[in-house]
């Protein structure tokens, strides 16, 4: 089996989330406590990461030629395909990290209802309700393939007819009294050629093509062909010869199958190990419940290298405070591995948002913040 090159594609379309918090806000985690029913505000969600696995399978189909049994007898060829057979190879694994709404992390932003000095505010959301941005002081002018399987009938249509015309002479003797009259007539019949007869004709045509090539190369016709015309005729003869040879040697056809899987890594620090399918060189990609082939699994392991930060954030949550700013994620470096059997066939080192921690910004004093569009990590912070 070939090595498995993995083109790892991390979605990093940079959409910067920008907002200004010159006024004071309070954000409530809906899962822990519901906001005041009389409060004015807006709900938003954090995003989590989804791993998309695109798998490309190369299928090699070998088809026996209809005259394979006579290749040695008429052409002296031994290396021919003797049976129809298909094999599969895991050609490519492509990993893409994407973001989607996390239903476990919904928050409510309380907006002061009596503040006359509250500047114009714009909130941007995506189609799933994930907060894309906040911005103050908004002006009115502000503005964003199947290859069909091949069968034996797809071989070149033979140029010679597959029927053989026979001419038989029949003699019938008729006796009339003592006179004998001999009557002769011809009867024609048509019968189908046997496979061996067709193979013999095809072999004769191959030899005829080789003879024509030789005559062209040696100038037998005594015609001064141009170089382009000569090359064209030789290429046409080679193409025709190869098509007839395929009738004896068989054909090899490569096609490709494309499969896509998606998994959402667990937020647990223990990581994720999930089987997505099974693969066999004889049958290709099959359901993970099948007993054929080796399991193909996705393994996600986080780098648990910040216990002090985890402890600090946990203690911070327990401190009572009047106002809490926007909640966001601190993602954690993780290793994504595609495992087949006991071997890693593709891998990616990246950040997974739900493997990290959730914390909050100050309730006031900020003029601008930017988050990474996929991981949700804080990448820029401006303070008044």
Q: For 95-99, 122-126, 181-185, 254-258, which range has the lowest pLDDT when averaged over its residues?
A: 181-185
**What does the pLDDT look like over 19-28, one tens digit per residue?**
444 456 788 8
Cα separation, 89 vs 1, whole angstroms: 6
The stretch 74-86 carries a mean pLDDT of 92
Residue 21, pLDDT score: 43
Q: For 10-24, 98-112, 275-289, which range has the lowest pLDDT when averaged over its residues?
A: 10-24
Residue 62, pLDDT score: 95
Residue 182 has pLDDT above 70, yes or no: no
**Locus of tokens 């026996």:** 64
**What does the pLDDT look like over 241-295, one tens digit per residue?**
999 999 999 999 999 999 999 999 988 777 889 999 999 999 999 999 988 999 9
Spatial CA neighbour of 162 closest among 123, 129, 190: 190
Share of the chain above pLDDT 90, in %: 32
Residue 26, pLDDT score: 80
pTM of the model: 0.72
On whether the CB atoms of residues 128 and 100 are closer than 8 A, the answer is yes
Residue 35, pLDDT score: 67
């Amino acid at each position: 089996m070939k090595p498995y090159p993995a083109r790892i594609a991390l979605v990093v379309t940079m959409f910067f989330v920008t907002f200004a918090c010159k006024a004071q806000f309070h954000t409530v985690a809906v899962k822990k406590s519901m906001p005041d029913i009389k409060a004015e505000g807006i709900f938003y969600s954090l995003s989590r990461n989804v791993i998309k696995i695109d798998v490309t399978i190369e299928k090699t189909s070998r088809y026996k030629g209809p005259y394979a049994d006579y290749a040695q007898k008429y052409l002296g060829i031994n290396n021919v395909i003797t049976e129809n057979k298909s094999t599969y190879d895991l050609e490519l694994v492509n990993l893409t990290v994407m973001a989607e709404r996390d239903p476990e992390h919904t928050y409510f932003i309380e907006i002061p209802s009596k503040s006359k000095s509250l500047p114009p505010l714009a909130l941007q959301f995506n189609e799933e309700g994930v907060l894309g941005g906040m911005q103050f002081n908004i002006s009115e002018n502000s503005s964003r393939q199947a290859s069909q399987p091949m069968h034996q009938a797809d071989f070149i249509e033979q140029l010679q007819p597959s029927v053989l015309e026979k001419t038989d002479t029949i003699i019938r003797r008729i006796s009339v009294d003592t006179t004998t009259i001999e009557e002769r007539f011809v009867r024609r019949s048509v019968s189908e050629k046997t496979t061996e007869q067709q193979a013999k004709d095809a072999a004769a045509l191959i030899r005829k093509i080789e003879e024509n090539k030789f005559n062209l190369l040696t100038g037998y016709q005594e015609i001064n062909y141009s170089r382009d015309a000569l090359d064209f005729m030789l290429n046409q003869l080679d193409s025709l010869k190869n098509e007839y040879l395929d009738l004896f040697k068989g054909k090899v056809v490569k096609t490709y199958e494309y499969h896509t899987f998606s998994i959402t890594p667990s937020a647990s620090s223990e990581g994720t190990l999930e089987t997505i399918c099974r693969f066999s060189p004889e049958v290709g990609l099959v359901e993970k419940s099948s007993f054929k082939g080796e399991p193909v699994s996705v393994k996600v392991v986080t780098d648990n290298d910040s216990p002090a930060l985890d402890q600090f954030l946990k203690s911070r949550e327990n401190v009572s405070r009047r106002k809490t700013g926007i909640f966001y994620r601190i993602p954690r470096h993780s290793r994504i591995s595609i495992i087949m059997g006991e071997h890693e066939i593709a891998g990616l080192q990246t950040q997974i948002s739900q493997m990290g921690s959730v914390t909050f910004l100050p309730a006031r004093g900020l003029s601008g913040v930017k988050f990474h569009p996929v991981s949700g990590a804080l990448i820029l912070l401006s303070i008044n």
